[in-house]
Structure 1
Amino acid sequence: MEDQMLRRNALGLSLAALLALLGGGAPALAQGGPITEGIVGTWVLVSVVSQADDGTRGEPFGPGPKGVMIFTRDGHFSLFQSRAELPRLAASDRARATPEEAMTVVRDSIAYYGTYAVDETNRSLSITLEGSTYANLLGPSQRRIITSLTVNELQFSNPRTPSGMTLQTSWRRATPR
């Protein structure tokens, strides 16, 4: 009787391990997993594409932008985005940047952090910025529509930026699962 119970437990554990291995690479949404769990972690920027009302498309941070975004389980996030290459400042003290250098850094990068909430039904994020290198963004919640989420890829759109554009942003997980 005891041998039979041990065999049944071993078989059950083996089956559970096999199922875990087989299901590991499937998309998070296809598995029915909540978006909330799927976005937690560190993401590396792949691309940012803008579209104006007239249909004109562009890359606000140029080709091959750099960036990182981190979502924590307790509802906090941080983000940094920039052009692939930001110029080095002539002065060794960033407070002594020339007006042209400062303008380039402001134009070609952004960082912000705050809290987020997921709307599973509408597949969207509501973010509230608590701090930013561009303080004009602080205030009411902003919405991001999740257009794709797999285990290792995340895409979302920013329905309307202050400059009147729609942004589509693509990310890959920093450490693939």
Structure 2
Amino acid sequence: MNRRCAVGLCAAALISAVAFPDGSIAQGRSLRDQLVGTWIYVSSTGTREDGSAVERPKLQGAVTYTADSRFHFITVRSDAPKYASGDSARPSPDEAMAIASGVVAYTGTYTVDESAKTIHVNIETSSFPNLVGTPNQRRIVRSITDEELKFTNPRTPAGITLELVFKRAK
């Protein structure tokens, strides 16, 4: 390899290291642009203020962020019982309780604080009425790639910190 080629390769490597310090070309896209789309629930862990773990149910669900600043979030227990009657309007009291306590769904608007890597959600509708009208709930983005989103809900109404993992819907 001649000297000119070696110097050129070194210069290219140096420019790449400065332009893309974490090796990610997607870094040039804003967090907001990277969020837009539908993300499928993978897993979550819960922690109490004292650091103890909170057992999490088996869930399935998704979160969608739209380009016009709307979002939709839903998780449903994957082990929820089927209604014996087969009629969604006529569950038994136990079936209704199992379903109601196993669904979390809410929608509203969102904004993104790019520098703090934070999503602020304003909940307009929810399966848990206590959330309706709660402005500026924070979701701290821990990491985001084209395929995976990880964020923290630092304080649920029950006082639990949730770490959630999603994969991008295909």
The answer to whether the 8 A contact 1:123-1:146 is kept is yes
**Structure 2 partner of 1:166:** 161
| Aligned-residue offset at 1:27 | 4.7
2:15 counterpart of 1:57: no
**Structure 1 gap segments, 5+ residues each:** 1-25
Give SS of 1:69's match: strand
Equivalent residue in structure 1 for 2:99, among 85, 95, 105: 105
Within a 5 Å distance, the mapping from 1:23-172 to structure 2 comes to: 27=24, 31-62=27-58, 65-141=59-135, 142-172=137-167
**Structure 2 gap segments, 5+ residues each:** 1-22
% identity of equivalent residues: 39
Root mean square deviation of aligned Cα: 1.8
CA distance, structure 1, for counterparts of residue 55 and residue 38 of structure 2: 23
Q: Deviations over 1:63-116 (max 9, x none)?
A: xx2111111100011111022232111223323212211111122121111111
Query: Which has the larger displacement, 162-171 or 88-97?
Result: 88-97
Could you state the TM-score of these two structures normalised by the residue count of structure 2? Answer: 0.80
CA distance, structure 1, for counterparts of residue 147 and residue 89 of structure 2: 38
Could you state the TM-score of these two structures normalised by the residue count of structure 1? Answer: 0.77
Q: Report how many aligned residue pairs link the two structures.
A: 148
